[in-house]
Chain A
């Protein structure tokens, strides 16, 4: 493009879940002065769930996101266990985790093959847009490989359907367990499919990491280079051995040097996490309260942290299953140790997690208890406040409900996976834009590479934007960082 446009709008951002746009502003020399990653959607769940019977939350909150409904279903089910102070039978917890791991596989495979991984790396970041998608990928790898990809996604789907009732928007979670057990026939089906998924996980590791990325020097440079790099804190759930677990555990945070900064759980998450607001995005920016909000900057003194695959691997001491552990060690060897700050390595970490999830599925389906008929304990206590935390494919997810004595929802607080990464995504987009766009040189390939900066996070903006601001019925005074008044607005007072 030879025209000197000072403002570039990428609308909509693509190959992710959700509505957003990127605004890039160039200065007089044609270099990037500023860039913004704006989330433009919101719906209001925290407000309209008030007044609903709390046991319906497992089915209401799945509609936060159709790409990761299981994450909400699980966090909500755990939250309901807490609300009703009822412990599910051990078989129920295992079944929930099994279904959830199948979902992790489903979600991660979607991102690897259809959203971020293969389209950008297999087709190339500046391939023609019409080819940078799932169909281009299938065209390149061939129909036979394409069918294997599709078959394995079907496997993950089917396991979710057996345990959750539906492939998208599971329904079986109840306080105290699940609405129904699995039969021996279903167990055999799941065992067969889980085995296939482990093989496919290993295949994906070889295809995408070994063959595609590591053998291509340009990609290795891109991943380990400077364009997609931020030194932040990292957060993730770990089990009692400090290994990655998606269903249950403690939340652990490490600092940019990899040292443990803190741990917390359902009882005290509010002491650690605050949410900051900006006028140009509907999505709030979570940060570590005790360090404080210092703006969109890296480093130990900034409260910004990141979540999701790379963060989880950074935080944990390893993976709980063998093939995944081997891949974990290899990744850190190549990246030069822990923690890894390379944003694009999220794709790699995601593939390792996919392998772990499928191996974990095999462990769980072989458990003697998995076909137990008793998968629910009926609550007997008066309901009260409760919190449920799990790891969504895209990061730590927290559901917090307050209810009255009859179990009707009074208040809801949701801190959603992608939300934690909002600051990270914004900073990554801005940095990529500044480093890639110089001297008015802009083309669709470069713009796609700017988009790759957020795509690595596999964002789920529908989840993140559950809240609804509307118009404020009062006067707002906006201050610049130095304290002077930038803008004064007032709206009708009703």
Chain B
């Protein structure tokens, strides 16, 4: 396993809970490894499976979807749909050959800056352990000459 491997992680945060939580982590100067980018959506249910597939195609090694705790969704039931969506998507990604651990769904509330730090660091470590995604951009190509 390549020790120089620096994973590319994408984190989707919902506006009302997890993005605020991420903000809190930042303001509190909590140390988080820098190998991730955040994309904010109004609700975790806005995260279309197509976004995640596109991210993997572009070389994301891991995707974390952070949402409100069940019962706390600003739009009442958005996160319930998210978890069904992510569960089925995880099964399908496994069929594509990806390790199940590469797609994660976590509940992070607005006041949980510490939890945001912990979850993201933990996810980065896990993905580093797994290694680059088999769909990494260097692997993609027409591959006609099989």
Contact = CB atoms under 8 A, between A and B. Distances in A.
Contacts of A470: 146
A471 B146 CA distance: 8
Interface in A281-327: none
A242 to B, nearest CB: 48
A51 B146 CA distance: 24
Contacts of B146: 470-471
Interface residues of B, number: 2
A470 B95 CA distance: 22
Interface string B80-110: 0000000000000001000000000000000
Contacts of A51: 95
A255 B58 CA distance: 62
A462 to B, nearest CB: 21
B129 to A, nearest CB: 24
A51 B95 CA distance: 10
A406 B146 CA distance: 34
B146 to A, nearest CB: 7
A473 to B, nearest CB: 11
Interface in A438-493: 470-471
Interface in A49-65: 51
Nearest to A470: B146
Nearest to A471: B146
A232 B95 CA distance: 47
A391 to B, nearest CB: 36
A172 to B, nearest CB: 28
B41 to A, nearest CB: 33
A259 B54 CA distance: 64
A486 to B, nearest CB: 26
B144 to A, nearest CB: 13
Interface string B126-146: 000000000000000000001
A299 B36 CA distance: 72
Interface in B63-95: 95
Nearest to B95: A51
Contacts of A471: 146
Interface in B19-76: none
B110 to A, nearest CB: 43
A470 B145 CA distance: 11
Interface in A31-56: 51
A51 B92 CA distance: 12
B124 to A, nearest CB: 30
Contacts of B95: 51
A382 B135 CA distance: 38
A239 B146 CA distance: 48
B143 to A, nearest CB: 13
A494 to B, nearest CB: 11
B74 to A, nearest CB: 38
Nearest to A51: B95
B134 to A, nearest CB: 14
A470 B143 CA distance: 14
Interface string A187-206: 00000000000000000000
A322 B146 CA distance: 56
A51 B97 CA distance: 13
A471 B145 CA distance: 11
A470 B146 CA distance: 8
A490 to B, nearest CB: 17
A112 to B, nearest CB: 40
A206 to B, nearest CB: 53
Interface string B109-120: 000000000000
Interface in A207-258: none
Interface in A389-403: none
A31 to B, nearest CB: 40
- Name the 3 nearest CB pairs between A and B, nearest first: A471-B146, A470-B146, A51-B95
3 contacts: A51-B95, A470-B146, A471-B146
